């Protein structure tokens, strides 16, 4: 199955000076279409994914998350760096079921970032538990990864 996304430039999460929540963002810049979104932090050229999600309506779902105190506290408590949100609109091809496609893409991105060692926050605002395997691999460097991360 070939799935397609149209990614937008990341938007900065700004601290809410008026006390309505922890962060605010320009919601009018986010489409009301289905897609995938990622909360992340950057520090210099490095980045860390904090949360990956899917939505039938990106703007509405992200607005809900901004009001989710546990999730926003989890993002706030991540290591130092600038907090960003990036998102992509799902581009369906004929015959693709939106719900199934979004679920598969969300799972693929979560697995990808976990395999890279990112510490993702789950829906309750706590970090996803993960285990790792370290391998000594003197002759098989191209074949065997040094570390594997997986959900228990």
pLDDT the model gives residue 110: 87
| pLDDT reading at 126 higher than 80 | no
Q: pLDDT digits over 46-55, tens only?
A: 899 999 999 9
Are 89 and 102 in contact by the 8 Å Cβ rule? The answer is: no
Provide the sign of the torsion angle of the four alpha carbons 107, 49, 125, 14, taken in this order.
Answer: negative
Q: Which two tokens stand for residue 122?
A: 């789950």
Burial class (CB in 10 A: 0-12, 13-18, 19+), 134: exposed
pLDDT band at 78 (very low <50, low <70, confident <90, very high): confident
Q: pLDDT digits over 14-38, tens only?
A: 999 887 789 999 999 999 999 999 9
- Alpha carbon distance, N-terminus to C-terminus of the chain: 27
Which residue did the predictor score with more confidence, 107 or 136? 107
State how far the alpha carbon of 106 is from the alpha carbons of 37, 45, 139, in Å.
9, 24, 35
Of the segments 49-53, 66-70, 146-150, which one has the largest average pLDDT value?
A: 49-53
Whole-structure pTM value: 0.82
CB neighbour list of residue 118: distance below 8 Å, 6 or more residues apart:
48, 49, 50
Distance CA 134, CA 82 (A): 30
């Amino acid at each position: 199955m070939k799935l397609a996304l149209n990614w937008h430039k990341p938007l900065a999460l700004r601290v809410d000076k008026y006390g309505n929540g922890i962060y605010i963002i320009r919601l009018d810049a986010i489409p009301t279409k289905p897609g995938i979104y990622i909360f992340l932090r950057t520090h210099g050229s490095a980045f860390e994914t904090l949360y990956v999600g899917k939505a039938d309506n990106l703007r509405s779902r992200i607005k809900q998350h901004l009001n989710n105190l546990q999730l926003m506290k989890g993002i706030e408590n991540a290591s130092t760096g600038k907090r960003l949100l990036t998102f992509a609109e799902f581009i369906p091809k004929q015959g693709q079921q939106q719900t199934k496609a979004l679920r598969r893409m969300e799972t693929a991105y979560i697995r990808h970032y976990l395999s890279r060692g990112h510490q993702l926050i789950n829906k309750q605002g706590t970090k996803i538990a993960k285990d790792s395997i370290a391998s000594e691999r003197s002759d098989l460097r191209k074949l065997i990864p040094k570390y594997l991360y997986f959900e228990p």
